[in-house]
Chains A and B, each alone.
Chain A
Amino acid sequence: MTNILDDYALISPLRHINNWLKLAIVFFGLLAGVSSTSPITPLFIALCMSLATVALGRAPLKFYLKLLLAPAGFAFTGVIIIAFFSGSGQELMSFELAGYPLVIRADGLELALLVLSRSLGGMCCLYFLALTTPMIELFAVLKASRLPESLIELSMLIYRYIFVFLDMALSIKYAQTVRLGYSNFKRSINSLGMLASTLFIRSWEQGDKLFLSMNSRCYDGKMTLFEVHRPVKSTELLLTSVYFLLTLALFYFTKNISIV
């Protein structure tokens, strides 16, 4: 079995919460985070979203941190560069590296912290969505957002067959590996090419078989999507409003604060 984000979302207890509520929370978080002028609000959002994902959504903490590490690493390197190369005003720290002076200024640090907190907040919001809402729940959302029917049907079929072909690709790769198909670079390239071409042909054939099997169940060119009705519970609504109000209050009161 492959280990992907979608699998965690499928077993998450938050899966059964109304999709629109979750989307609203995420978009609110993104907007509030990006428009905030102090790093405190985005950090608060990051904290809340992480708590929701790990405590309420039962995502394993270790896995969650590992997941966060990858983009956080990128953000961090970017932030260091911003801290050193931008801003004016009070000099906080300076040293020389191989004859070249490096200075951190108050403004630069402020900006760096803001960028870091915003990106963290945004990532946590998106991970909240990714780890609590499996793809199969999003099809209803896609449908409601008036995307063309055929696009949604295609995406449903693609979603299903990603896993079929993933399994196929893995077993072909395994079969190649046990016969030393990846023992050196040249062979690896060769094997990978064979894998890709086989997959292409198989997917072509699969399409034929799919059409056959759909036809034998009276396919008339339309797939109906059955939505599950999920009313928003009062506790969920209450919790969300408290979160929204707290964030807005924080947003308002930290408007002009500088922490450096």
Chain B
Amino acid sequence: MIILETRSLKYTYPDGTAAVQDLNIEIKKGKKVAFVGQNGSGKSTLFLLLNGTLKPAEGEVLFHGVPFKYDSKSLREIRKSIGIVFQNSDDQIFAPTVYQDVAFGPANLGYSKERVDACVHQALEQVGLYRLKDKPPHHLSGGQKKRVAIAGIMAMEPEVIILDEPLSNLDPVGADEIIDLLNEFNQLGSTIIISTHDVDLAYRWSDYVYIMSNSKLIGQGTPAEVFKEQELLKKAGLRQPTTLEIYHEIERRGLARGKNSPKTVPELVSTLKPLDLMWVDVPPGVREGDNLNLGVMYGVYATQSPYEAINATVLHIHSGGRAIVELKRKGIKAGGVLLYDTDKYSLDEVRQIIKEGEIVFVGAMGKKSKTLAEQDGIRLDVTSGVIDKSILMALCGKRCLILTAGGMIDHALKRTREYVDKSGIEFTVGVVNREGGCKWLEEMDTNPETFKV
């Protein structure tokens, strides 16, 4: 369903320079959309057009298929449904305390005092800043200010959230937290639009990308499609995303499977095709091209999981019964990614899961879960890029636990399952303290035929 649409939109600054020209976009509900372009390519102006702050010179903007009207009552409706977070948080946060600022939007909507309080409480809990509600904004860090600005918009419960350069001036951990937040809101049903000149972010995060240059739209599509086109990127003054660049270089050297577009490091890893060769002693009668079952290996011979069932294809037979084989490994005691819902948190349970599940790697997503872990002295191995790192650990046969809550659970679950489906490498994925729980993959019992290695 198309939620936001523009038709031959044009906007000209008072001095006559065109800021946006002939723009046709269709944004689908529930998507994560990124506008990518250099500074001054017209992204910010477009955003102001999208929430009715600026009135287009030509063309129209449609919300749910209805063209914008620019009288104050319609504008109010539009602005309630389409929230915008500005690039500089100081432009947006103007009230003397965090609470007052977040309450500004709901109060303007004419809510009762109780309802305003409920909205503010929920929004601040979501961004993990409730305990700072009585602080003045100048006592907050850049990342916290950004989260307050986002909470101020979330408190109005908009259908579409537009963020102008949401990660500018943030440190990596702060940026990661904002991305986690955006993913959570998206999981809860919000459509999210961001502008950025960070191609890595747009490539990795978004569902759909628009490329802008010199106030025009010059390309659009899924990130995989758009960032493949070198010419387009050159025209827009952008470069290829790093993971994609690395992948192309590896692929060109024949070390990765072709025609992929890995977005994350785990995806990149799964495209690799290393040659796994080994000398073995073979019984007489075995020919080149035969398949051998080498049985179960462990220790130094198992590189991807603690135990591996290994089949081998004979490539070359040497004199004296020795042969070179290419190994095909299948992990038996695979690793896994478990998720723990911290909304139903109990320290003893977490401790028990870590102990009995032989978990060696613990991560936390979201401010709330991080704070919980910190309070209770749960050692966190990772707090940023949690899903990716956990998948990488699971691939190496390690068992991981991710502490998280709310919409981030489903997001993490989806991401990990997608990876399992796509890569064909199986490991346990699930939410531990949800109904049904989650069992480790059964350990296989195979009768190893013994070969001398």
> Which chain A residues have a beta carbon within 8 Å of chain B's beta carbons?
6-7, 10, 134-136, 139, 156-157, 159-161, 163-164, 167, 206, 209-210, 212-220, 222-226, 228
Contact = CB atoms under 8 A, between A and B. Distances in A.
Contact of A218 (B48, B79, B103, B136): B79
Contacts, number: 90
**Looking at B84, B134, B153, which has the most chain A CB atoms within 10 Å of its CB?**
B134
A213 B108 contact: no
B95 interface: yes
Contacts of B92: 213
Nearest to A15: B134
A160 B93 contact: yes
Contacts of A224: 103-104, 107-108, 116
Contact of A216 (B53, B97, B107, B139): B53
A218 B108 contact: yes
Contact of B136 (A136, A206, A220): A136
B197 interface: no
Contacts of B48: 212
Given A160-B136, A217-B152, 18 more contacts: A7-B139, A134-B136, A160-B93, A163-B137, A209-B86, A209-B91, A210-B94, A213-B86, A213-B91, A213-B94, A214-B104, A216-B84, A217-B156, A218-B79, A218-B80, A218-B105, A226-B107, A228-B134
Contact of A163 (B103, B107, B108, B138): B138
Interface in B76-116: 76, 79-80, 83-84, 86, 88, 90-97, 99-100, 103-105, 107-109, 113, 116
A210 B137 CA distance: 15
B196 interface: no
**Looking at B76, B104, B156, which has the most chain A CB atoms within 10 Å of its CB?**
B104
B51 interface: yes
Contact of B138 (A157, A164, A210, A219): A164
B53 A212 contact: yes
Contacts of B136: 6, 10, 134, 136, 159-160, 163
B135 interface: yes
Interface of B: 48, 51, 53, 76, 79-80, 83-84, 86, 88, 90-97, 99-100, 103-105, 107-109, 113, 116, 134-139, 152-153, 156
A169 to B, nearest CB: 13
28 contacts: A10-B135, A136-B97, A136-B134, A156-B95, A159-B96, A160-B136, A160-B137, A160-B138, A163-B137, A209-B86, A209-B88, A212-B48, A213-B91, A216-B53, A217-B79, A217-B105, A217-B152, A217-B153, A217-B156, A218-B105, A218-B108, A218-B156, A220-B108, A223-B104, A223-B107, A224-B104, A226-B100, A226-B116
A164 B145 CA distance: 13
Contacts of B138: 160, 163-164, 167
Contact of B94 (A139, A161, A216): A161
Contact of A160 (B95, B103, B109, B113): B95
Nearest to B92: A213
A226 B99 contact: yes
Contacts of A135: 96
A15 B429 CA distance: 49
Contacts of A223: 95, 104, 107
B362 to A, nearest CB: 33
B7 to A, nearest CB: 22
Contacts of B134: 136, 228
Nearest to A7: B139
A225 B97 CA distance: 11
B93 to A, nearest CB: 7
B139 A217 contact: no
A216 B93 contact: no
A122 B109 CA distance: 45
B53 A164 contact: no
B268 to A, nearest CB: 39
A160 B94 CA distance: 6
Nearest to B54: A212
A139 B97 CA distance: 11
A156 B96 contact: yes
A257 B336 CA distance: 85
Nearest to A216: B84
B55 to A, nearest CB: 13
A249 B451 CA distance: 103
Contacts of B139: 7, 10
A220 B106 CA distance: 12
Nearest to A215: B53
B96 A139 contact: yes
Nearest to B162: A216
B108 A217 contact: yes
A164 B137 CA distance: 10
A120 to B, nearest CB: 31
